[in-house]
Chains A and B, each alone.
Chain A
Amino acid sequence: MEIWFSQLDTENVKTSVRVDKQLFSRQSEYQRIDVFESREFGRMIVLDGEIIFSEADEFIYNEMVVHVPMAVHPSVKNVLIIGGGDGGVAKVLTQYPEIEAIDVVEPDEMFIEVSREFFPETAKGFDDDRVKITNMDGLRFLRRCRDKYDLIINDSTDPFGHTEGLFTREFYGNCYRALHDDGIMVYQHGSPFYDEDEAAFRAMHRKAYQSFPVSRVYQAGIPTCPAGLWMFGFASKKYHPLKDFDAKRWDARGLKTWYYTTHLHKGAFMLPKYVEDILAEEEQK
């Protein structure tokens, strides 16, 4: 017997994963949530037909959104995660003892429940006392924040789904205000390869570039992402991701990783020419 789950990367390209069984399928107030057991990737969680993470490759994403800013900012105490209902990002953050508070703002309660039930290892991030979960729309939460965070991680994935509002000019503006004067925001920047993703990719950079003094993009290879390539945005009020990067300080922490290294940190900001061109074009606008 063969069951295959297919993610439509574009109308004409599929990423298909052979599935052993389906563990969960329900429509929440915000999205359709599916959990599959697969041979290659272990358990995968799928939101509205797109793979959000799998047991096999989630470490890449979680490490890249946490360690990169943490190796740049000298003193992170308060962190906000927008989305992050699976707890994976929070879990990596809890490795840093100097962090005092981690706010997770995830509107979809069902997503959190599903993560706790099917991905208990990942959801362990929620068990740390510093982590506080709020079930609220991200934009609404941000409206009430002023000068409060050192680091904001936008862990929402889909610029066209229910998290659309988190890829907009108002979102970047609201994040800017919620950050301290030396704050950093890291966000998912999508995949620039396919034509249909390119417009969103461009718009995101343009908005971040207009809202923050420093705005750079870095990349990682993630197998379940469209074209296997994923980008992250590094928007910051003060620190530059390479010039203010302190490899020695970070290495001295002795954290265990599977993807991130301080060598890779530098390499991640070295982008393919076509991506550099896209970014440069948007910066002219």
Chain B
Amino acid sequence: MDRISQHTAPVYEAMLELRKRRVVPFDVPGHKRGRGNPELVDFLGEKCVGVDVNSMKMLDNLSHPVSVIKEAEELTADAFGAQKAFFMVHGTTSAVQAMVLATVRAGEEILLPRNVHKSVINALVLCGGIPVYVPVRVNHQIGIATGMALSDVERAIREHPQAKAIFVNNPTYYGIASDLKGIVDIAHKAGMKVLVDEAHGTHLYFGDNLPISGMAAGADLAAVSMHKSGGSLTQSSIMLCGRDVDAEYVQQIINLTQTTSASYLLISSLDLSRRNLALHGRESFEKVSSMAEYARAEINEIGGYYAYGRELIDGDSVFDFDVTKLSVFTQGIGMTGIEVYDMLRDEYDIQIEFGDIGNILAYISIGDRIRDIERLVGALEDIADRSAAANRKELYCGEFIAPELVMSPREAFYAQGERMPLHKTVGRIAGEMLMCYPPGIPILTPGERITQEILDYIEYAREKGCSLQGTQDLECREMRILTEI
């Protein structure tokens, strides 16, 4: 990385220049620097609305970058050790989908763990790719899916030598990383591309003692949520290309679905965040790691909770652990994660990232302060005490279930179907997705067989307060299933 050039921020600088020039706008957006919508200016501020502008010569164009966006993307590629970087404005979802669309065509296979984000499955609905699930290992103590074991990946590659790509979470929401370098080596030997979902891994590019990043491991494409640990605005993200990727083709794929009115608020936030990460990322994430480690130690001292860390590493399906993640198994205090999550929000004014059946995840970032950590730990202790007083117990651990895939997601999604109350769907094939959000990992995807065990899991999650999503029925009480012919 060239540290000197990283001091610049081409898009941001061009926007400052535009502001100085006081150009009279006879283009969109129609609010004309906010004058047409004073309430919005009052709410968001003049500075913000004033730079909500459209593509123009000075500011380049995201779909066809030739000047400042091109430069900013080059700086990003340099900072992340990639051949090429794309700014994305439809969230990391769009980056994940572009990765899949750029590598897998209708009828072609892709290897992936089942605990992927829903965006991957949706991309397969769009392109008609066939998922081949590599078995996901489960940690029975905390009830979560971990990573892929290298031996399982090897077997999948052997059994599906025609597969085009392998998809890897790096790391998972909970901070667990597979042996990415090992996977890249064997996938490349077999002629497969490696796609890496780094929605929870921006900081891996700028930290010490963290799991290896996609680009450093030699992966081909990586979707990186800059708006999570990177500090940019919500919905902004980047996609990185490795050495042997045809980046011009990837740009065409992105342009299939990307807006032609990309927001400069998002683009400039990517530009500034990249600069900040390149110049100060290392020290920032060191601080984040130490805050998370401190919180982990304090939470484990309370008793009942298990804030897990590097001790999970087994050299196999938990090849590495991202210490910036603060995931806590809560069932030891007699409460599900989602109950703790709700209580933190409703009674302690603390909003954490998510709670599922067994765990909570608190997102620690460069914006945190140790005093906020003290609040979180203090609240968790108070909850544990109250739970002990209420003498709660008997929890269903709710382990990750890997359903049977009967047909491709695309085939099932477009097949003739009907809506049916969930409890009547045992044995049938799902025609749509169902998940708890967050984390957004599907419980059922289109094409999977519904079992009683899965329905029990769904009803338990519902009862405990998880937000169920994905079905046409907003209440998730009915599901679209395939008509039996």
Contact = CB atoms under 8 A, between A and B. Distances in A.
Interface of A: 137, 139-140, 142-143, 162, 164-165, 168-171, 173-174, 177
A169 B302 CA distance: 17
Contact of A171 (B298, B347, B378, B386): B378
Interface string B371-414: 11011011101100110000000000000000000000000000
A139 B385 contact: no
Nearest to B347: A169
A187 to B, nearest CB: 15
A173 B347 CA distance: 11
A142 B379 CA distance: 12
Interface string B340-375: 000000011100000000000000000000111011
A232 to B, nearest CB: 22
Given A143-B381, A170-B381, A177-B385, A165 B298 contact: no
Contacts of A174: 378, 381-382
B347, B372, B382, B386: residue with the most chain A Cβ atoms closer than 10 Å: B382
A137, A165, A170, A177: residue with the most chain B Cβ atoms closer than 10 Å: A170
Contacts of A162: 371
A140 B374 contact: yes
14 contacts: A137-B371, A139-B371, A139-B377, A140-B378, A142-B378, A143-B377, A164-B371, A165-B374, A165-B375, A168-B349, A170-B378, A170-B381, A170-B382, A173-B382
Interface string B82-117: 000000000000000000000000000000000000
A174 B376 CA distance: 12
Contacts of A142: 378
Given A143-B302, A143-B377, 4 more contacts: A137-B374, A143-B298, A162-B371, A173-B386
Nearest 5 pairs of A and B residues by beta carbon: A173-B382, A170-B378, A170-B379, A139-B378, A139-B374
Interface majority SS on A: helix, strand, loop or mixed?
helix
Contacts of A140: 298, 374, 377-378
Contacts of A165: 371-372, 374-375, 378
Interface of B: 298, 302, 347-349, 370-372, 374-375, 377-379, 381-382, 385-386
Contacts of B347: 169
A165 B378 CA distance: 9
Given A168-B349, A170-B348, A173-B386, A143 B378 contact: yes
A137 B371 CA distance: 7
A179 B385 CA distance: 15
Contacts of B382: 169-170, 173-174
A140 to B, nearest CB: 5
B298 A139 contact: no
A143 B386 CA distance: 14
B343 to A, nearest CB: 10
A36 to B, nearest CB: 27
A101 to B, nearest CB: 23
Contacts of B375: 139, 164-165, 168, 170
A48 to B, nearest CB: 14
Contacts of B377: 139-140, 143
B484 to A, nearest CB: 53
A140 B294 CA distance: 12
A165 B382 CA distance: 13
Contacts of B381: 143, 170, 173-174
A174 B348 CA distance: 13
Given A143-B298, A177-B385, A169 B379 contact: yes
Nearest to B381: A143
A168 B348 contact: yes
A45 to B, nearest CB: 21
Nearest to B372: A165
A173 B380 CA distance: 11
A174 B302 CA distance: 12
Nearest to A203: B349
